[in-house]
Amino acid sequence: MGIAVVTGGTRGIGAAISIGLRDAGHTVAATFAGNVEKAEAFRAETGIAVYQWDVADAEACATGLAKVEAELGPVDILVNNAGITRDAMFHKLSFDAWKAVISTNLDSMFTMTKPVIEGMRARSFGRIVNISSINGQKGQMGQTNYSAAKAGVIGFTKALAQESAFKGITVNCICPGYIDTDMVAAVPEEVLKGIIKGIPVGRLGKAEEIAALTVYLASPAAGFMTGAVLTINGGQYIANG
């Protein structure tokens, strides 16, 4: 079993992934950006180590990952899950809101992966799982920034997978649909009802369902799967990639 880093790993989908990897026998480091109280509660409840830094900050990522490796060991598994939204119709969208989402959701593919990729190459093993979104596949009204960033995650995954395969590193991407998390729960009730009506299975997804797929992709059993874009959205949007 290996050392796994999960960004945004103390809440929502990220928390479920951290717990799933822990239960599979991995040593997990869960990163978080700002909510110290919730992160400490997560650490106390799960026993999973937590580390605070901003995934949009390249220097902070390099420093933070060096600390993880010094305390836990070389990173074998990286789950790029951290993400934010700053929704607005494009004609009302500010550049600051655009930049914030691109920096956290897309630049983090570079800032988090760059510090660990050479170690993975040297050891001829690595598992990188990038969390995109249904809205990176189909687009979403009011989310040009988020959709652009999450579509970029898909392209990053496919390119890095080709570069890394011969070194024993797999790179895959999961595109969740609407998952029952605090973020989705904050949507107005009538809007949420409309969303669920559009999901053929008739319900929101569960964070544990995303975690189970991530655990598989991080496992030795997934060694022949790389560059994949895996859609898990209850049939709301059916895509080939």
Six-digit token string for 52: 């605070």
Give the residues across from 3 on adjacent strands.
27, 75
Which of the following is catalytic: 51, 146, 178, 237?
146
Burial class (CB in 10 A: 0-12, 13-18, 19+), 199: middle
Show the CA angle centred on residue 35, arms to residues 29 and 37, nearest 5°: 90
Among 131, 235, 218, 107, residue whose Cα is nearest residue 183: 131
Which residue matches tokens 């937590």? 50
Task: Identify each DSSP E strand in 105-194 by its residue range.
Answer: 126-131, 169-176
Is 216 a known active-site residue?
Answer: no
Rg (CA), the chain: 17
Give the residues across from 127 on adjacent strands.
77, 170
Task: Identify each DSSP E strand in the chain by its residue range.
Answer: 3-6, 27-32, 49-52, 75-80, 126-131, 169-176, 229-232
Residues with active-site annotation:
146
